[in-house]
Amino acid sequence: MLRIVRCSLLLGLLIVASISTFIEAQAATPRIDVLRVKGTINPVLVDYIERGINDAEENDSVAIIIQMDTPGGLDTAMRDIVQDIVNAQVPVVVYVSPSGARSASAGVFITIAAHVAVMAPNTAIGAAHPVSIGAEGEAQMSEAMEEKVVNDAAAYIRSIAEAHGRNMEWAEKAVRESVSATEQEALELNVIDMVAPDLDTLIAQLDGWQVTMLDGSVVSLQTQGATINHNEMRVTENFLYAIADPNIAYLLLSIAMLGIMAEVFNPGLIFPGVVGGISLLLAFYSLGVLPVNYAGILLIVLALGLFVGEVLTTSFGLFTVGGITALVIGSLILFKGGPLFKVDVGLIGVIAILMAAFFAFVIQRAIRAHRSQATTGKEELVGKTAVVKETLEPEGTVFFKGERWKATVEKGRVKPGEEVVITKVDGLNLWVTKK
């Protein structure tokens, strides 16, 4: 018995020692977090970058690598990401990759703000003019306003470049003159720190690299043998990032219009109303994170009102023409902030054609109904079929369209359940014949 107890204690000690050794080995192994940015810079991306930096700090990662391929984005979102990088307690590496990628517009500011700036072969950086970034969110600026915005952006990027010992003159030209550079040109101009063909090579090159943090401390990167943690966007983040796109937002808004109109014109269908309501809520979210032009929103709302007016008043196409015109103009000016935030003209054309086809059908039906002879009131009952509820001999009761009517049969006797044809209406009494 004593031997069994000793063996059990020894086994327990070995297990504890093994677990401790494993934990120490895991703690001793450096970890590098890799984030991936592909697409426009917007508030959803800000939340993703912020979460990635926080995760890296909590897990004592030795570095964060942001693989980036972006045409640019919103000025406000770009500044938030720059602040997150500058204030990070873990060195941040911005890696413009893979081959063929670019760091344009707002991406230039983010790349230059990194503790280590890296580009892959056959990549480009530059063209950071603030109008294309949408600094003020205006499609067109006055000359004085544009000068103020450009001066502010130039000062901002010079400050970032100076803090990291990078080429301030080139950075300013990227803002003022929209200059660009290849990866080799950027390396020679001291815009970036190194060129790396792939992630493994980059991690090897980073080993021993020294970076200066915001508090002035110098950190030497120890990346040899590091484990790679690919911190991808979550499902929710991916979904929100996907719908934060001008074309998707416009498509959701169009589906919402169609669904709501279908429900209004045909109460009780339910499905179109549910789809329209969900699409409208998602469209509101998308519009909330994009640079919206409220004049465009108002024109689209006006178009919806005119479409409803067409059905309710039957203007024989006048309201439809006005609605299509308002819809197209509103769609073209729906977003502001440069070419990145424009609805595809082809998509606008498809939606306009669908709307026109739908209301052409509605107008055709309205004209046909207008030209046909109206049959209402008592005349509508003549010739219709009713079902006998109480025996007609000759008087009794019939059932027609959910209502009971007093009826008189013109000839013979009719039993309950048999069908009769209405031949005349006399006040509240129906004259019928056996079918």
Which residues are designated catalytic? Answer: 105, 148
Residue 61 to residue 203: CA distance in whole angstroms: 13
Residue 258 to residue 271: CA distance in whole angstroms: 12
Within 181-234, residue ranges assigned H as helices are: 183-188, 199-206
E strand or H helix that includes residue 160: helix 143-163
Provide the edge-to-edge strand list for the sheet that holds 116-119.
194-195, 116-119, 92-96, 63-69, 31-38, 227-230
Count CB-CB contacts under 10 A for residue 232: 12
Q: Are 123 and 102 in contact (CB under 8 A)?
A: yes
- The residues, ordered by sequence, that sit 6+ positions from 120 with a Cβ below 8 Å of its Cβ are 95, 96, 97, 98, 99, 101, 183, 195, 196, 197, 198
SS3 of 43, please? helix
Residue 360 to residue 432: CA distance in whole angstroms: 42
Q: Tell me 414's DSSP state.
A: B
Residue 206 to residue 212: CA distance in whole angstroms: 14
Q: Are 108 and 77 in contact (CB under 8 A)?
A: no
